[in-house]
Amino acid sequence: MDALRKNPDKIPGSTLYYCRLGKDGKLAPSGEPWCTICSKMTLDAGVSYFVLMKSEGYAAYATDEYNLLSFAYAG
Ligand SMILES: [Zn+2]
């Protein structure tokens, strides 16, 4: 949302890196794509890729794929 306000011209084609922090404040692996608010907003804003840090490594999704997976997970 901050990038949309301050640098809207830089959003199309960009990559969003999502990170989760554990209770110890350190990076923690995320699960599967699930948040349909984030997935729809990034898709509609023109972000190209959504990256998650998973326990098996980093995973990059095209935002249209990420949005479909999130809605499928939300069921
Ligand atoms: Zn979200």
Whether residue 28 is contained in a domain is answered as yes
Residue 74 has pLDDT above 90, yes or no: no
pLDDT on residue 31: 87
Number of domains, the chain: 1
Whether residue 3 is contained in a domain is answered as no
Three-class SS state of 42:
helix
Closest CA to 71 of 44, 30, 32: 32
What tens digit of pLDDT does each residue of 18-66 get? 999 999 999 999 989 999 999 999 999 999 999 999 999 999 999 999 9
**Structural domain that includes position 34:** 10-74
Whether residue 5 is contained in a domain is answered as no
Q: How distant is the alpha carbon of residue 28 from its chain centre?
A: 15
Whether residue 49 is contained in a domain is answered as yes
Q: How confident is the model at residue 75 (pLDDT cuts 50, 70, 90)?
A: confident
Element (H, E) at 21: strand 20-21
Residue 69 has pLDDT above 90, yes or no: yes
Whether residue 2 is contained in a domain is answered as no
Separation of CA 9 and ligand 1 centre (Å): 22
Closest CA to 38 of 21, 56, 51: 51
Whether residue 4 is contained in a domain is answered as no
Separation of CA 42 and ligand 1 centre (Å): 10
